[in-house]
Structure 1
């Protein structure tokens, strides 16, 4: 379990995130929603150890996050930031191979299963045909998929993704979300992802955590969130729900 208690992050004397308590089940597919500036990325950076809270405690499986050595933490948690780092001079295959570092280190002996894991990760993200291409010369969507392949090669049981669909076209957005759902259902990997698309979140998430002005606004199932007044209050705009066939989630649209 990822547990946060009495979390407070401040900037210029004001709270940008204040969470008395939040526990994330690493077996679930959790989506974080909220308007720009709501604290979504701040929360993600706390979970990924990219940021320390000004107050409060964060633990993973009952152990403080800070107590994990870097490689030990990377074996448990893989993080994809919103702004991808540069990968100067690295081919896609070389970038994806970096996902094996927590297991092999810089000087560790490369095993046969490492190569298989890298190939599987590239195939799963449909980036294998670019294996020999320089990663930084790919399109935005292709670079995004290459980095996600690196996370898959890392084989951490928990994936943290900050807006993973932002650079993808519509088809690849749904393909990526379907892949993440498969990883969650069939491989038991926990997923925590920041999204902006309500309908995409409702289709794939088990749980939605919504933030507003740095505070917890909603925490529950997609079905419970899909309520017009609740969505309108979350995003400060009139949102209506359009009914679909029986058994399918309604579609949220701006009125």
Structure 2
């Protein structure tokens, strides 16, 4: 279990995130929603050990995050930031290969399993045809998929993703979300992802956590979130629900 207690993060004298208590099941598919500046990325950066809280503590499986070594933590948690770092000179295949370093290190013996996992990750993200291309020269969406392939190759049981669909076209958005759900359902890998699309979140998530102005606004199922007054209050705009042939209503701005 990922547990946060008495969390507070401050910037320039003001609190940007305050969470008295939040537990995230590392085996479920959780989506974090909220308006820009609501604290979504701050929360994910806390979970990924990219940012320490100013107050409070975070633990994974009843062990403080700070007690994990970098390698041990990477074996447990894979993280895709919102802003992808530059990887000058690396091909897509070499980038994806980095996902195996928590298991093999720099001097470890690489095995056939590693090559198979790297190849499978590139196929799953529809990036295998770019294996020999320089990663930094790809389009934004292609780079996004290459980095996600690296996370898949890492084989960590928990994957944290900050807006993984932001640079993808519509088809690849749904393909990625379907892949993440398959990983969750069939391999038991936990997913915590920040999204902006309410309907995409409602379609694939088990649980939705919504933040507003740095505080917890909603925590529940997609069905519970799909309520016009609740969504309107979350985003401070009139949102209506329209019937959909698939059964679950679709949220639209009125």
| TM tier relative to shorter chain | over 0.9
- Please give the per-residue CA displacement for 1:195-238, whole angstroms capped at 9, x wherever unaligned: 00000000000000000000000000000000000000000000
TM-score (norm 1): 0.99
CA RMSD of aligned residues (A): 0.6
Aligned equivalent of 2:55? 55
Matched, 1:119 2:119: yes
- What is the alpha-carbon distance in structure 1 between the residues aligned to residue 165 and residue 211 of structure 2? 19
Q: Which blocks of at least 5 consecutive residues in structure 2 are unaligned?
A: none
Report the Cα offset of residue 249 of structure 1. 1.1
Q: Distance in 1 between matches of 2:223 and 2:213?
A: 23
In structure 1, stretches of 5+ residues that fail to align are: none
1:180 CA drift (Å) = 0.2
Deviation at 1:13, TM superposition (A): 1.2
Match of 2:252 in 1: 253
- 1:20-169 to 2 correspondences below 5 Å: 20-169=20-169
* Aligned counterpart, 1:11: 11
- The answer for the alignment partner of 1:228 in structure 2 is 228
- Name the TM-score, length of structure 2 as normaliser: 0.99
Inter-partner Cα distance in structure 2 for 1:175 and 1:111: 29
Could you say which residue in structure 2 is the equivalent of 1:244? 244
Q: 2: distance between equivalents of 1:169 and 1:96? A: 21
Partner of 2:209: 209
SS in 1 for 2:4: strand
Query: Deviation above 3 Å: which 4+ runs of structure 1?
Result: none
Q: Distance in 2 between matches of 1:170 and 1:248?
A: 21
Distance in 2 (CA, whole Å) between partners of 1:143 and 1:35 is 25
